[in-house]
């Protein structure tokens, strides 16, 4: 028996609070391999309910977004916490501005940047050609 619920395109306050935790999201792009092959990603939820992440400008997910901008992300609570997940589906807009700032914020969220190795990893990311992917929710599901 499923306790999942669906909301047409809007994140609740509780969804946003959950998505602000440092969890991995699993991103799937439409029109890719069948079956879909989700990839773990860092992400950020904005105050207005958009989901943003960054990637190399030539990555498969960015190339796929150029062909078909439909995407979804699923985020689940870690083992040991109350069972909970949020799934957001919609279309992705590719933005050339703000990717480095987003990468810096997310690195601080997911890594200890006091660790010289991680700080070096971040510097390497920032030296690359990054793009910001902004997921505009059209459907939100959550459970249980």
Stronger pLDDT, 135 or 7, i.e. the higher one:
135
Tell me the pTM: 0.89
Q: By the 8 A CB rule, do 72 and 141 touch?
A: no
Q: Tell me: the pLDDT tens digits for 7-24?
A: 667 899 999 999 999 999
Compute, in degrees rounded to 10, the torsion defined by CA atoms 121, 19, 89, 97: -50
Q: What is the pLDDT of residue 3?
A: 59
Nearest 5°: phi and psi at 58?
Answer: -100, 15
Select from 30, 42, 108 the least CA-distant residue to 75: 42
Domain limits at 132? 5-143
Give the CATH number of the domain where residue 11 resides: 2.30.110.10
Number of structural domains, the chain?
A: 1
If you search the block for the tokens 């207005």, which residue do you land on? 48
Q: Tell me: the pLDDT tens digits for 56-91?
A: 999 999 999 999 999 999 999 999 999 999 999 999
């Amino acid at each position: 028996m499923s306790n999942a619920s669906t909301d047409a395109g809007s994140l609740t306050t509780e969804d946003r609070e959950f998505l602000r935790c440092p969890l991995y999201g699993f991103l799937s792009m439409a029109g890719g391999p069948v079956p879909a092959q989700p990839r773990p990603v860092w992400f950020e939820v904005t105050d207005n309910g958009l989901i943003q992440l960054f990637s190399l400008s030539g990555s498969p997910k960015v190339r796929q977004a150029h062909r078909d901008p439909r995407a979804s992300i699923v985020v689940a609570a870690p083992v040991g916490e109350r069972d909970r997940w949020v799934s957001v589906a919609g279309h992705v807009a590719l933005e050339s501005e703000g990717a480095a700032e987003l990468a810096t914020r997310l690195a601080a969220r997911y890594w200890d940047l006091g660790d010289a190795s991680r700080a070096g990893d971040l510097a390497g990311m920032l030296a690359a050609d990054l793009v910001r992917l902004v997921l505009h929710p059209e459907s939100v599901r959550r459970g249980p």
